[in-house]
A and B are shown apart, each in its own frame.
Chain A
Amino acid sequence: MLSIEIKVEALHAWYGNDEVLHGIDLAIEPRSVTAIIGPSGCGKSTFIRCLNRLHETNPGARVAGHVWVGGEDVYRMDPIDVRRTIGMVFQRPNPFPTMSIFDNVALGLKFAGVKDRRRLRARVEESLAMAALWDEVKDRLHQPAMSLSGGQQQRLCIARALAVEPRVLLMDEPTSALDPISTMRIEELVQNLKQTYTIVIVTHNMQQAARIADQTAFFLDGHLIEVGPTSKVFTKPDDKRTEDYVSGRFG
């Protein structure tokens, strides 16, 4: 029996009166990459934002169902602890523009109450190294985060998320705003990070999903149509709609 890191059961989500997720069930193994694919507006972002309880910060947004991470019921935990356990990287790189590179990475640690400067520094270096950014920024840690290129900014956001030592990393189309070379570097990074973290990545790029994901889930109109090993979903899908989507017939 394989162990389960994330388990989602009968997850529903609403914006006001609009139900946009209609009962999602999904299990994710530890230290794996799960790709969420589907046409835009099908609820991919909403789904991963329910995992770290960011969805409920939208005015009028509501969730029902269960999410367990590492055996703990996310909706019975303090949301602050949930978000420390489950890091997130957004579609558009969003470093804090008023802060230096160093401060961006250290901020989560400060929220977590780390005050010791030596520990902060060590952890910042470790995180930047894990995000494959250390060599590029080690001589300019105190320069503004906005002086980095788009791809570097996105890796900075990854470092920032890793600094608080989460178990899970959520990525919402992390390369959609990046050039091909930066995209490739992030994909390599994801491959390395999965040795330590469980990764859920939303992507609208099916080649990307095929390249990096162990498991792929196809969403359509707020329903999980099909989930399985990536090679199976792309080559021998069970559902006609999955086949149509992955062969590029719609979306």
Chain B
Amino acid sequence: MKRRSDRVLDGWLWFAALLALALFMAFFIMLGTESRASVLRFGWRFVVTSVWDPVHSVFGALPFLYGTAVTSLFALVFGGLVGVCTAVFLVYFVRGWFRSWLGGAIELLAAIPSVVYGLWGLFVLAPWLQHTLEPWLGRWLGFLPLFQGVPYGVGYLAAGLILSVMILPTVTALSRDVLLAVPRDIHEGALALGATTQEMITHVALPYARSGIISALMLGLGRAVGETIAVTMVIGNRPEISASLFAPGYTMASVIANEFTEATTHVYLSALYEVGLLLFLLTVAFYVVARLFIRGIAKTEGNV
């Protein structure tokens, strides 16, 4: 027999869980109905064509999908790598007050509002990219299509870098906590076999912590995909696909934010809703993939 207070608590927990589920469904249904007109009119062409022409009511969202993919993958690779390395540094190479101070400083980066990142990106990062980094990359790595073309400053590279900085605190803090939770006897097991600190980290600690680190990266990716204002300020907002990271582009979140107020026709608004629907599905897909990945790992380790 459960006590009365337990039943009340149970009730509340059920209510909260169902409310979250209901909100999720409501969002999905709302986005689905609002984007119906666009889905019916353009079908698959919506996601595979690149003409975005509100004047003639022709909408193809490929440039936005591409921009979101490029900038968030850039952040995942670059910001993720720096974040995981920083976490390793914090856990294994510094101790005491310096560790907590540095860790705190990195976590504070998460408290800076997006719009401030955007301002910094626009007025500091973009000019530096245009006059220093991009010409330099073009000179030395210009044989790669990624680094060809006119340095604009604003563009995929600027957005990717801003996003890298923005996901850094999430990735670092979570990876650090995961690494701190690796049991001491696992570390000592490696040391007792004659591992150097570096071998202990790469062969034993990181594999042990990998499912947690993957979740950290997925959370970071989720943030990068959905980030709006900072990206809008530095990506250049041009609906074009370019192989060069120097070129201006556009992302799904940015186009919604920029064009919602201008969407005067029904199909225009519906097209923007469809972009929102795709963004929503994309985030859900990332989440599901991450969960499956983590479950797969847990299974191979025999400790589901």
Contact residues of A with B, CB < 8 Å? Answer: 52, 54, 57, 59, 80-81, 83-84, 87-88, 90, 92, 94-99, 107-108, 110-112, 144, 146-147, 157, 160-161, 164
B203 CB contacts on chain A under 8 angstroms: 107, 110-111
Contact residues of B with A, CB < 8 Å? Answer: 95, 183, 185-186, 188-196, 199, 203-204, 207-208, 210, 300-303
A87 vs B190: C-alpha distance in the bound complex, in angstroms?
11
A87 CB contacts on chain B under 8 angstroms: 192-193
A160 CB contacts on chain B under 8 angstroms: 189, 193
The chain A residue with its CB closest to the CB of B210 is A98
Whether B302 lies near A96 (C-beta < 8 A) is no
Least CB distance, A85 to chain B, in whole angstroms = 9
The chain A residue with its CB closest to the CB of B203 is A107
Whether A108 lies near B193 (C-beta < 8 A) is yes
Given known contacts A98-B208, A147-B302, A90 and B195 CB-to-CB distance under 8 angstroms: no
Besides A96-B208, A98-B207, A164-B194, 16 new A-B residue pairs in contact (Cβ under 8 A), listed by A number: A54-B192, A87-B193, A88-B192, A90-B188, A90-B189, A92-B185, A94-B189, A96-B189, A98-B208, A107-B190, A107-B204, A111-B193, A111-B194, A111-B195, A147-B302, A164-B193
Least CB distance, A46 to chain B, in whole angstroms = 13
Whether B302 lies near A161 (C-beta < 8 A) is no
A81 vs B188: C-alpha distance in the bound complex, in angstroms?
15
B303 CB contacts on chain A under 8 angstroms: 97, 146
A112 vs B195: C-alpha distance in the bound complex, in angstroms?
8
Least CB distance, B69 to chain A, in whole angstroms = 30
Least CB distance, A101 to chain B, in whole angstroms = 11
A144 vs B196: C-alpha distance in the bound complex, in angstroms?
24
B199 CB contacts on chain A under 8 angstroms: 111
A84 vs B210: C-alpha distance in the bound complex, in angstroms?
27
Given known contacts A92-B185, A96-B208, A107 and B301 CB-to-CB distance under 8 angstroms: no
A88 vs B193: C-alpha distance in the bound complex, in angstroms?
8
**Most central of A95, A96, A99, A164 by chain B CB within 10 Å:** A96
Given known contacts A96-B208, A98-B207, A98-B208, A83 and B191 CB-to-CB distance under 8 angstroms: yes
B188 CB contacts on chain A under 8 angstroms: 54, 57, 90, 94
Whether B301 lies near A161 (C-beta < 8 A) is no
**Most central of B95, B183, B192, B210 by chain A CB within 10 Å:** B192
A98 vs B209: C-alpha distance in the bound complex, in angstroms?
9
Whether A161 lies near B192 (C-beta < 8 A) is yes
A52 CB contacts on chain B under 8 angstroms: 192
A84 vs B196: C-alpha distance in the bound complex, in angstroms?
11
Can you give 5 contacting A-B residue pairs, CB < 8 Å? Answer: A59-B95, A83-B191, A90-B188, A111-B199, A164-B193
A87 vs B193: C-alpha distance in the bound complex, in angstroms?
7
Question: B194 contacts which of A94, A99, A112, A146 (Cβ < 8 Å)?
Answer: A112
Given known contacts A54-B188, A107-B203, A144 and B195 CB-to-CB distance under 8 angstroms: no
Given known contacts A83-B192, A88-B192, A96 and B300 CB-to-CB distance under 8 angstroms: no
**Most central of B189, B194, B199, B207 by chain A CB within 10 Å:** B194
A147 vs B237: C-alpha distance in the bound complex, in angstroms?
54
A83 vs B183: C-alpha distance in the bound complex, in angstroms?
20
A96 vs B302: C-alpha distance in the bound complex, in angstroms?
12
Whether B302 lies near A146 (C-beta < 8 A) is yes
A52 vs B300: C-alpha distance in the bound complex, in angstroms?
33
The chain B residue with its CB closest to the CB of A104 is B189
Whether B194 lies near A80 (C-beta < 8 A) is yes
B302 CB contacts on chain A under 8 angstroms: 144, 146-147
The chain B residue with its CB closest to the CB of A92 is B185
